[in-house]
């Protein structure tokens, strides 16, 4: 238990140290301390993880203290460690640690170095709280906390108001999802009387009205949509690339955005009872996958391409969850964390070398100067494209197979998205690393491979991206699907699942088809960009569908016109007309009315004493007469 | 006896402050405030050692009509007494960096107001309560009128006059209500009022006599129009008093003097009040989005927050009441923090218009950090005090009606929008000539923020001991309101 | 002995006398314009009431009526003192005690 607490508290300690005294520390100490505060939890997590693997570790469910408690109402602050949270612990602390190391070098010249590390540590703290919480509300603390850190880190360079806008947009869109999540929590708390995951699993859901379960799961999914950037709340994620690149790698690729998947897997015992929601999850996932992939094809900002790719991959994961393949979803989360973190860090290395240049039209031929970055980037691109035997091949293939089994349309959409992924990833690789350098001489002069603190994490991640597929080798080929066995205690059995699987030959065919398609896409990219030497069009030269896609289908503009402008108008109208004229008008009218009445009535006060006396006497007489008539 | 001492300490010190002259007034006032805070802590101890059974003090005052000088302190009252006695010295302290004209009058008015506020929270006799209720209004009227900072004096006079007349007019309805009740009870004591048996029609009508007074003070939509201008025109210390403590008088009175006294009236009007309050939540939030004046923006945001508290109280659930009390407490801290930040900005840059600010974070990182924390608390980020309150309040509205919770829940989105917009425009971006020379916080200002932030996280992380103190009071209120 | 006189004259007579006195006072107040005369008329009204109080006091054998009379007389004396002082001041300023000319007291 102490160890488990240490996992959470050390990053928090790191946050406080860097936030309070970081400025006075040398940069190496500040960064090193922050990294250490992640490394120790990583070691502890590893020991737990190994314990789970060899069966010596039992599930831990500890209530630390009563957080909100009065009368019968009780929400505890407690932690839950099981196979699922252990998996996420490994990803968060492991990749988190590598990215901390990377940042020591990457952020070295930034004046707010210690701020950066304090935010990163705070982020890890909240993320760990999210995955370790033993009830929905603790998860919600982490959920909002990582949103806050995301806000702080996207707007890290706060002098630029565009970045601040991006940060605000991320926070607000996340909050839209959070409202859904919170309402879901209310439903659970009110109807199921507890928020504790273990206790909830024991509730017999068959006794509850079906509509209720659907409502709960839909609301939870709304929360996941916000955090994991799915349609319709995805537009914040591409904008979030305003933050420093390590942040994009850690928060907006590897960990935070997968929180939605974590939450759905955590609540799988609810979701399997709501096939309607599952269908919607799958549909939204597939739609997001294909939609974001198409946008990714025409982006020219190296980080934006990766951002849309992340959105698309997250869509695939939701598709997996939606068709009931929870293990495949988690599997893809893990492999995606490896290769996408590697890709982002690689892009960071490139941006670093080019002194902030992010437009791939101004890159090219970097292979010569940055071999390590190139090779790691290539391996990760192969992994994300689904090339055998890299990790993405296995995890993506599993999702496609599950989709095929479930619904052929979903499978077609997801396959298309994968083909596009392979294409735009290699478009990125070729435009960045091959051909001739297209930047200015000044940049060319300074081109260099990044220092070891940057390349070592890249190499480690590339290795993981290459071999990570070993966690889930396909069963039909006679392998043991290790991850499936590992996660099985966490997953409830689906009462609605059809028991049959695909035949071996079908699976093999699907696998081969996907592989061939990916190779073909890469080949097409090769022909177009290396052989053909094609370059993306300049801004404003796109036309037709290209223009539509290049401008991201104008979704941001549509949202602006639909939500932002009207609320601003409403705010103006509400203040200047309704509040000042109508409501306050009525209040002021009450005041004015008494003035008007007063100005008439005061005429009685003529100042003639004789009149006053007469009025007094007459009134008294009237009162006497009246009272005699009443009493008499 | 402790009750009496705590109650009259501020009055005594109001006198001493006035007599001590302009030079020493602020020290004497701070001492008085701190002593009252000590008194409050002693009260808490004796309440705890009394198993949370209310402490009481009664002395005959007037025989006909039967009015007693009767005080009582239970968990609910104590929470607000604690809020008052904590915030008053803090507010006094926030004014230390300013030179205040006629300081002896200013500080003694603040303490006089504390006396009135404590009286409202302690009174167990309707008439006594009414006297304190009005007494609390008078000092703030003068503070707002005489020490307001806006140069447009005519506008200020009008705004403050409107505030005074508006709230006073509301209170008179309450007086009528009390007199009507007295006809039946023959006493103003709270127990006799709780046990009255009035017909449904009487309750339905009388409800408004009381509710209008409270609704104006809180304020509940549509009785809020005095608020933005008054907050803007009053000196910041006055705004803190108004928003941090005084509007809690209205909310407290709902719990203490309305729900248990007129249960059927409440039952009849509850749906309307909850809808009004929820409208207020959305309305205040939406209007706050485009406000340019920092204090007005905070006024509208505060208006939205108290709307949610009102809705929570009227759900008549345990969660709603607990949430309301926590949120009252939390709102007091947060709003004082926010207004203090506004005051610091005003002093340093000479403007409150957020479109003219910007870039303060790069020159004043400490200020940016503490301001951010208070902003986050007011958008109810988990682990802060307001989250506990909003969570319970929204959960209570959810129990009352699902769609209502959805509507009220939009506050968590809107509050993020307007608060972050405000923070972005005022603190982030590039500096300009107004903000370039912004001094970072000195230790006194830092101390105030640190105290507030400690309060924020104490309630946010370990609210249970606070919630536990309220249980008896809420049991009592609920048992009378649901009879 | 004095009591006997009261007892021999029926109470109705006292009531009538004081009613007449009171009415004269009222008429004086209403129809005269000299403030001093109005003042005197008020005194007349007060004395009418005093008479009635004393009469009833003896009629009921209850001394509290007479106590009231003392109070009334004391108050009336005070009132005369204040009132005449005011009148003197007014006269110094406007050289008149005609109430029709004293009509500045209005809003």
Mean pLDDT of B113-135: 93
Q: Kindly list the distances between the CA atom of residue A194 and the CA atoms of A73, A118, A174, in Å, as whole numbers in the listed order.
A: 9, 34, 25
Using an 8 Å Cβ cutoff, are A381 and A424 in contact?
no
pLDDT at site A265: 92
The answer to whether A586 contacts B222, with C-beta atoms less than 8 Å apart, is yes
pLDDT at site C4: 57
The count of other CB atoms within 10 Å of the CB of residue A495 is 10
CA–CA dist A377, A147 (Å, integer): 28
pLDDT grade for C106, boundaries at 50, 70 and 90: low
Cis peptide before B219 (omega within 30 of 0): yes
Q: Which of A70-74, A326-330, A565-569, B39-43 ranks highest by mean pLDDT? A: B39-43
Lowest mean pLDDT across A557-571, B395-409, B449-463: A557-571
pLDDT grade for B139, boundaries at 50, 70 and 90: very high
The answer to whether B287 contacts A579, with C-beta atoms less than 8 Å apart, is yes
Domain that holds residue C70: 2-101
Token pair of A217, please?
A: 């799961």
Please name the residues in contact with A139: beta carbons below 8 A apart, sequence gap of 6 or more: A129, A130, A131, A133, A263, A266
DSSP run (H or E) holding A156: none
Cis peptide before A611 (omega within 30 of 0): no
B157 vs chain A: nearest CA distance in angstroms?
15
pLDDT at residue A500 greater than cutoff 90 = no
pLDDT at site C107: 57
Using an 8 Å Cβ cutoff, are A296 and A553 in contact?
no
Q: How confident is the model over A521-566, as pLDDT tens digits?
A: 889 888 888 887 777 777 767 777 777 777 778 888 888 888 888 8
A600 vs chain C: nearest CA distance in angstroms?
11
In a domain, C14, yes or no: yes
Please list the helix, strand and coil fractions of chain B in percent, rounded to the nearest 5, in that order: 80, 5, 15
Using an 8 Å Cβ cutoff, are A399 and A286 in contact?
no
Q: How far apart are the first and last CA of chain B?
A: 33
pLDDT at residue B40 greater than cutoff 90 = yes
Of B215, B211, B235, which Cα lies nearest the Cα of B223? B215
Compute the mean pLDDT over every residue in chain B, rounded to the nearest whole number: 91
- Grouping H, G, I as helix, E, B as strand and the rest as coil, residue A279 is helix
Per CB-CB distance under 8 Å, the chain C contacts of A618 are none
In a domain, C107, yes or no: no
Q: What is the CATH number of the domain that holds C41?
A: 1.10.287.3510
Find the closest chain B residue to A75 by CA distance.
B464
Mean pLDDT of A327-350: 91
DSSP run (H or E) holding A519: helix A504-525
Domain boundaries, chain B: 262-483
- Grouping H, G, I as helix, E, B as strand and the rest as coil, residue B394 is helix
Quote the distance between the C-alpha of residue B168 and its chain's center: 17
**Which of the pair, A355 or A341, is modelled with greater confidence?**
A341
CA–CA dist B276, B95 (Å, integer): 36
- Grouping H, G, I as helix, E, B as strand and the rest as coil, residue A185 is helix
Using an 8 Å Cβ cutoff, are B140 and B242 in contact?
yes
Find the closest chain C residue to A621 by CA distance.
C26
Domain boundaries, chain A: 1-226, 274-535, 558-631
Q: Residue A141 is nearest to which of B382, B405, B410, comparing CB atoms?
A: B382
pLDDT grade for A468, boundaries at 50, 70 and 90: confident
The answer to whether A610 contacts C99, with C-beta atoms less than 8 Å apart, is yes
DSSP run (H or E) holding B218: none
Of A170, A123, A177, A175, which Cα lies nearest the Cα of B416? A175
Which among B301, B401, B405, B417 is the top mutation candidate for probing chain A, defined by the most A β-carbons within 10 Å of its own β-carbon?
Answer: B417
Q: Does A602 touch chain C (CB under 8 A)?
A: yes
Compute the mean pLDDT over every residue in chain C, rounded to the nearest whole number: 86
CA–CA dist A164, A161 (Å, integer): 5
Q: How far apart are the first and last CA of chain C?
A: 56
Mean pLDDT of A218-238: 91
Q: Which residue has the tokens 């500890």?
A: A62
pLDDT at residue C102 greater than cutoff 80 = no
Q: How confident is the model over A352-400, as pLDDT tens digits?
A: 888 888 888 888 788 888 888 999 999 999 999 988 888 888 888 888 8
pLDDT at site A495: 57
Q: What is the DSSP letter of A226?
A: H
pLDDT at site A632: 60
Q: Structural domain tally of chain C?
A: 1
CA–CA dist B11, B16 (Å, integer): 9
Of B192, B7, B250, B210, which Cα lies nearest the Cα of B115? B7
Token pair of B204, please?
A: 């339905």
pLDDT at site B155: 87
Using an 8 Å Cβ cutoff, are A425 and A309 in contact?
yes
Using an 8 Å Cβ cutoff, are A473 and A479 in contact?
yes
Q: How confident is the model over B195-206, as pLDDT tens digits?
A: 888 889 999 999
Per CB-CB distance under 8 Å, the chain C contacts of A606 are 103, 106
Number of A to B CB contacts under 8 A, please give it.
131
Given phi > 0 = left and psi -120 to 50 = alpha, else beta, which region is A208? beta
A with B: touching (≥3 Cβ pairs within 8 Å): yes
pLDDT at residue B55 greater than cutoff 50 = yes
Tell me the DSSP string of A344-405.
HHHHHHHHHHTTS--BGGG---TTTT-HHHHHHHHHHHHHHHT-TTSHHHHHHHHHHHHHHH
Given phi > 0 = left and psi -120 to 50 = alpha, else beta, which region is A61? beta
C with A: touching (≥3 Cβ pairs within 8 Å): yes
Helices A83-106 and A113-132 pack at an angle, to 10 degrees, of 170
Tell me the DSSP string of A483-506.
HHHHHTTTSPPPTT-------HHH
Per CB-CB distance under 8 Å, the chain A contacts of B319 are 73
pLDDT at site A499: 47
Q: Does A50 touch chain C (CB under 8 A)?
A: no
């Amino acid at each position: 238990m102490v160890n488990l607490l240490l996992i959470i508290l050390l990053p928090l300690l790191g946050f406080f140290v860097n936030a309070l005294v970081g400025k006075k520390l040398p940069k190496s100490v500040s960064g090193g301390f922050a990294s250490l505060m992640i490394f120790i939890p990583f070691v502890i997590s590893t020991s737990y993880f190994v314990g789970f693997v060899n069966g010596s570790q039992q599930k831990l469910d500890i209530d630390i203290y009563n957080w909100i408690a009065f009368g019968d109402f009780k929400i505890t602050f407690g932690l839950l460690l099981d196979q699922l949270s252990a998996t996420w612990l490994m990803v968060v602390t492991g990749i988190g640690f590598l990215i901390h190391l990377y940042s020591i070098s990457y952020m070295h010249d930034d004046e707010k170095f210690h701020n950066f590390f304090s935010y990163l540590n705070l982020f890890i703290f909240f993320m760990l709280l999210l995955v370790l919480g033993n009830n929905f509300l603790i998860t919600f603390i982490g959920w909002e906390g990582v949103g806050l850190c995301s806000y702080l880190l996207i707007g890290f360079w706060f002098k630029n108001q565009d970045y601040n806008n991006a940060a605000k947009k991320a926070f607000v869109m996340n909050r839209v999802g959070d409202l859904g999540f919170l309402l879901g929590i209310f439903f659970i708390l009110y109807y199921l009387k507890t928020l504790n995951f273990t206790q909830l699993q024991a509730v017999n859901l068959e006794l509850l009205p079906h509509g209720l379960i659907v409502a709960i799961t839909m609301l939870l999914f709304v929360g996941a949509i916000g955090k994991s950037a799915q349609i319709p709340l995805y537009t914040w994620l591409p904008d979030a690339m305003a933050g420093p690149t390590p942040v994009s790698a850690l928060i907006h690729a590897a960990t935070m955005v997968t929180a939605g998947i974590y939450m759905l897997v955590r609540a799988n015992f609810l979701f399997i009872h709501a096939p309607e929601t599952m269908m919607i999850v799958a549909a939204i996932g597939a739609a997001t996958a294909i939609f974001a992939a198409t946008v990714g094809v025409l982006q020219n900002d190296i980080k934006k391409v990766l951002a849309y790719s992340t959105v698309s991959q997250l869509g695939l994961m939701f598709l997996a969850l939606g068709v009931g393949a929870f293990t495949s979803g988690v599997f893809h989360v893990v492999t995606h964390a490896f290769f996408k973190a590697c890709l982002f860090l690689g892009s960071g290395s490139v941006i670093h070398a080019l002194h902030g240049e992010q437009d791939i039209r101004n890159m090219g031929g970097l292979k010569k100067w940055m071999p390590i970055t190139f090779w790691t980037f290539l391996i990760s691109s192969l992994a994300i494209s689904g090339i055998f035997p890299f990790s993405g091949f296995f995890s993506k293939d599993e999702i496609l197979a599950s989709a095929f089994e479930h619904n052929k349309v979903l499978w077609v959409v997801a396959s298309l998205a994968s083909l596009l992924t392979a294409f735009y990833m290699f478009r990125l690789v070729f435009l960045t690393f091959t051909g001739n350098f297209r930047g200015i001489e000044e940049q060319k002069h300074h081109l260099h491979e990044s220092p070891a603190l940057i390349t070592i994490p890249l190499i480690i991640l590339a290795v993981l991206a290459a071999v990570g597929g070993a966690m889930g080798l396909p069963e039909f080929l006679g392998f043991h699907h290790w991850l499936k066995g590992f996660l099985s205690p966490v997953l409830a059995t689906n009462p609605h699942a059809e028991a049959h699987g695909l035949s071996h030959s079908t699976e093999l065919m699907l696998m081969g088809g996907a592989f061939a398609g990916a190779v073909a896409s890469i080949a097409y990219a090769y022909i177009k960009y290396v052989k053909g030497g094609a370059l993306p069009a300049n801004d404003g030269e796109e036309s037709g569908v290209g223009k539509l896609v290049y401008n991201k289908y104008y979704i941001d503009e549509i949202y602006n016109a639909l939500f932002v402008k009207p609320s601003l108008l409403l705010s103006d109208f509400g203040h200047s007309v309704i509040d000042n004229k109508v409501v306050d008008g009525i209040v002021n009218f009450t005041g004015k009315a008494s003035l008007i009445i007063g100005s008439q009535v005061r005429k009685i006060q003529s100042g003639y004493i004789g009149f006053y006396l007469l009025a007094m006497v007459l009134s008294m007489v009237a009162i006497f007469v009246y009272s005699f008539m009443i009493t008499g | 006896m402790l009750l009496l001492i705590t109650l009259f300490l501020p009055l005594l010190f109001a006198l001493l402050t006035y007599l001590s002259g302009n030079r020493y007034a602020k020290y004497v006032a701070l001492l008085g405030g701190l002593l009252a805070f000590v008194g409050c802590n002693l009260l808490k101890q004796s309440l705890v050692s009394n198993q949370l059974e209310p402490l009481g003090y009664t002395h005959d005052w007037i025989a006909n009509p039967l009015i007693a000088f009767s005080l009582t302190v239970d968990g609910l009252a104590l929470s607000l007494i604690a809020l008052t006695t904590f915030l008053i010295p803090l507010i006094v302290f926030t004014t230390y960096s300013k030179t205040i004209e006629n300081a002896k009058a200013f500080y003694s008015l603040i303490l006089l107001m504390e006396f009135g506020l404590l009286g409202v929270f302690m009174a167990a006799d309707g008439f006594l309560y009414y006297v304190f209720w009005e007494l609390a209004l008078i000092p703030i009227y003068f503070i707002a009128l005489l020490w307001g900072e806006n140069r447009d004096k005519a506008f200020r006079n009008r705004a403050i006059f409107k505030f005074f007349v508006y709230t006073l007019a509301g209170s008179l309805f309450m007086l009528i209500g009390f007199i009507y009740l007295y006809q039946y009870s023959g006493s103003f004591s709270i127990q006799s009022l709780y046990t009255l048996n009035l017909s449904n029609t009487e309750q339905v009508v009388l409800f408004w006599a009381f509710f209008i007074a409270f609704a104006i003070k809180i304020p509940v939509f549509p009785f809020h129009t005095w608020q933005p201008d008054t907050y803007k025109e009053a000196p910041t210390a006055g705004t803190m008093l108004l928003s941090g403590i005084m509007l809690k008088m209205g909310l407290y009175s709902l719990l203490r003097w309305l729900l248990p006294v007129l249960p059927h009236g409440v039952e009849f009007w509850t749906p309307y009040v909850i809808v009004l309050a929820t409208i207020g939540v959305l309305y205040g939030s939406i209007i706050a989005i485009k406000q340019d004046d920092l204090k007005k923006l905070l006024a509208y945001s505060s208006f939205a927050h108290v709307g949610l508290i009102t809705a929570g109280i009227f759900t008549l659930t345990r969660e709603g009441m607990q949430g309301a009390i926590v949120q009252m407490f939390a709102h007091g801290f947060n709003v004082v923090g926010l207004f203090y930040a506004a005051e610091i900005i005003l002093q340093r840059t000479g403007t409150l218009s957020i479109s003219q600010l910007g870039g303060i974070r790069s020159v004043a990182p400490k200020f940016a950090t503490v301001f951010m924390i208070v902003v986050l608390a007011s958008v109810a980020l988990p682990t802060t005090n307001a989250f506990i309150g909003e969570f319970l309040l929204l959960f209570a509205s959810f129990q009352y009606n699902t769609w209502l919770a959805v509507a009220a829940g939009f506050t968590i989105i809107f509050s993020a929008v307007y608060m972050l917009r405000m923070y972005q425009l005022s603190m982030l971006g590039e500096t300009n000539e107004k903000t370039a020379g912004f001094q970072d916080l000195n230790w006194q200002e830092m101390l105030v923020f640190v105290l507030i932030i400690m309060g924020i996280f104490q309630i946010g992380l370990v609210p249970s001991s606070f919630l536990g103190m309220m249980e008896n009071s809420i049991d009592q209120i609920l048992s009378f309101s649901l009879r | 002995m004095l009591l006997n006189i009261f007892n021999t004259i029926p109470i109705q007579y006292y009531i009538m006398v004081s009613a007449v006195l009171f009415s004269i006072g009222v008429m004086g107040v209403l129809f005269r314009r000299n403030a001093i005369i109005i003042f005197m008329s008020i005194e007349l009204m007060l004395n009418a009431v005093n008479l009635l109080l004393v009469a009833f006091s003896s009629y009921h054998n209850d001394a509290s009526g007479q106590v009231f009379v003392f109070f009334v007389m004391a108050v009336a004396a005070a009132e005369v003192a204040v009132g005449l002082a005011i009148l003197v001041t007014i006269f110094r300023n406007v050289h008149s005690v005609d109430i029709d000319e004293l009509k500045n007291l209005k809003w």
